[in-house]
């Protein structure tokens, strides 16, 4: 394993009967990065995490976490890896601080009060540390879950759907906290999520995970740069927008046209190289174009394209 690798898998596969939930997965997560394992529910993300933690056996392939094989050294891996599951649970009758003390004792950490005070400050729960966890909101429990995963001072933090069922303001706070943990605590973070637009600004690299297979891997910018063919382009028309949209739809280089979010706007799928010709032909035909912009260079759109391509192949 490379000195810069925190997590590495080669051909990692998990089958249930004849179904490959994870299929020949190759990953190399670098030390200190925030790595996004992104895909729809049921793509195999959680199964991958469970294998990395030594909680389920792979069918074939190899894996290393901090140079250790989770199959042979599961306890040592768990000592060095913090884990926040998608459904985090605490003892509701205990305070946040007491829950963290309990986790510290389970990990045989003595005199943890100073570190617990620090972690409550890091995750923004200083004022709620002595409040029963049963009174916490979902977002507060996620924050407490991050503190809980950090109690043992892990080298790697694995987060499984950390923003599920949290309000938009809470999501922004959790994502900002995740990014700061990577920078300030120098923790390698593996983030599993299906909420692509939310983690685009957080992850250094992204693996798009579909049906147990990585179909694309790179930085968000690198993935966007690969899309040099078909693109989604928004046209805004003044005047008779309906007639202009019909003319757009009839052009042979345009695959489909759908209404945009703004009045008079329509989104077309076309080969990006034909865009100048499309605009010229529309103007020549009498269309009044007030704006043209590409709308598919975010991670959500990139993912949709890979996912739809995979479904079509299947």
d(CA 252, CA 307): 25
Same domain for 141 and 237, yes or no, is: no
Q: Which residue has the higher pLDDT, 101 or 219?
A: 101
Same domain for 154 and 289, yes or no, is: no
Q: Average of pLDDT values for 282-309?
A: 76
Over 60: is that where the pLDDT of 149 sits? yes
Q: How confident is the model at residue 148 (pLDDT cuts 50, 70, 90)?
A: very high
306 domain residue, yes or no: no
Q: What is the pLDDT of residue 186?
A: 83
Q: What is the pLDDT of residue 270?
A: 87
Over 60: is that where the pLDDT of 34 sits? yes
Using the 3D structure, point to which of 163, 190, 219 is the last residue of a domain.
219
Q: Which of left, alpha, beta for 186 (phi over 0: left; psi -120 to 50: alpha)?
A: left
Same domain for 77 and 106, yes or no, is: yes
Over 80: is that where the pLDDT of 183 sits? yes
Same domain for 208 and 234, yes or no, is: no
d(CA 100, CA 248): 60
Q: Which residue has the higher pLDDT, 208 or 2?
A: 208
Q: Which residue has the higher pLDDT, 236 or 224?
A: 236
309 domain residue, yes or no: no
Using the 3D structure, point to which of 219, 244, 271 is the last residue of a domain.
219
14 domain residue, yes or no: yes
294 touches 232 (CB < 8 A): yes
Over 70: is that where the pLDDT of 293 sits? yes
Range of the domain at 252: 228-296
Q: How confident is the model at residue 2 (pLDDT cuts 50, 70, 90)?
A: very low
117 domain residue, yes or no: yes
38 domain residue, yes or no: yes
Which neighbouring-strand residues pair with 244?
none
78 domain residue, yes or no: yes
Q: How confident is the model at residue 3 (pLDDT cuts 50, 70, 90)?
A: low
Q: Which residue has the higher pLDDT, 288 or 298?
A: 288
Same domain for 124 and 106, yes or no, is: yes
CATH of the domain at 246: 3.30.70.920
Same domain for 45 and 145, yes or no, is: yes
Helix (H, G, I), strand (E, B) or coil at 285: coil
305 domain residue, yes or no: no
Domain count of the fold of the chain: 2
311 domain residue, yes or no: no
């Amino acid at each position: 394993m490379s000195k810069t690798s925190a997590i590495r898998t080669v051909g990692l596969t998990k089958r249930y009967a004849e179904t490959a939930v994870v299929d020949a997965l190759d990953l190399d997560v670098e030390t200190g990065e925030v790595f996004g394992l992104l895909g729809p529910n049921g793509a195999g993300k959680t199964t991958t995490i469970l294998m990395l933690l030594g909680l389920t056996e792979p069918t074939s392939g190899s894996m290393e976490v901090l140079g250790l094989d989770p199959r042979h050294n599961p306890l040592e891996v768990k000592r060095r890896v913090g884990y926040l599951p998608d459904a985090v649970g605490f003892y509701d009758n205990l305070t946040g601080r007491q829950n963290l003390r309990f986790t510290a004792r389970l990990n045989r950490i003595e005199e943890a009060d100073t570190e617990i005070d620090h972690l409550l400050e890091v995750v923004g729960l200083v004022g709620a540390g002595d409040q029963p966890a049963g009174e916490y909101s979902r977002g507060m429990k996620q924050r407490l879950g991050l503190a809980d995963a950090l109690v043992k001072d892990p080298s790697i933090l694995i987060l499984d759907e950390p923003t599920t069922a949290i309000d938009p303001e809470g999501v922004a706070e959790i994502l900002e906290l995740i990014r700061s943990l990577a920078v300030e605590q120098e923790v390698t973070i593996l983030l599993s999520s299906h909420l692509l637009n939310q983690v685009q600004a957080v992850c250094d690299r992204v693996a798009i995970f579909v049906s147990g297979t990585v179909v694309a891997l790179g930085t968000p910018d690198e993935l966007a740069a690969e899309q040099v063919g078909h693109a989604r382009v928004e046209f805004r028309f003044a005047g008779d927008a309906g007639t202009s949209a019909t003319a757009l739809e009839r052009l042979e280089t345009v695959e489909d046209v759908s209404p945009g979010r703004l009045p008079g706007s329509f989104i077309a799928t076309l080969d990006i190289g034909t865009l100048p010709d499309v605009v010229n032909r529309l103007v020549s035909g009498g269309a009044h174009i007030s704006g043209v912009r590409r709308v598919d260079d975010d991670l959500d759109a990139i993912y949709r394209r890979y996912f739809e391509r995979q479904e079509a192949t299947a």
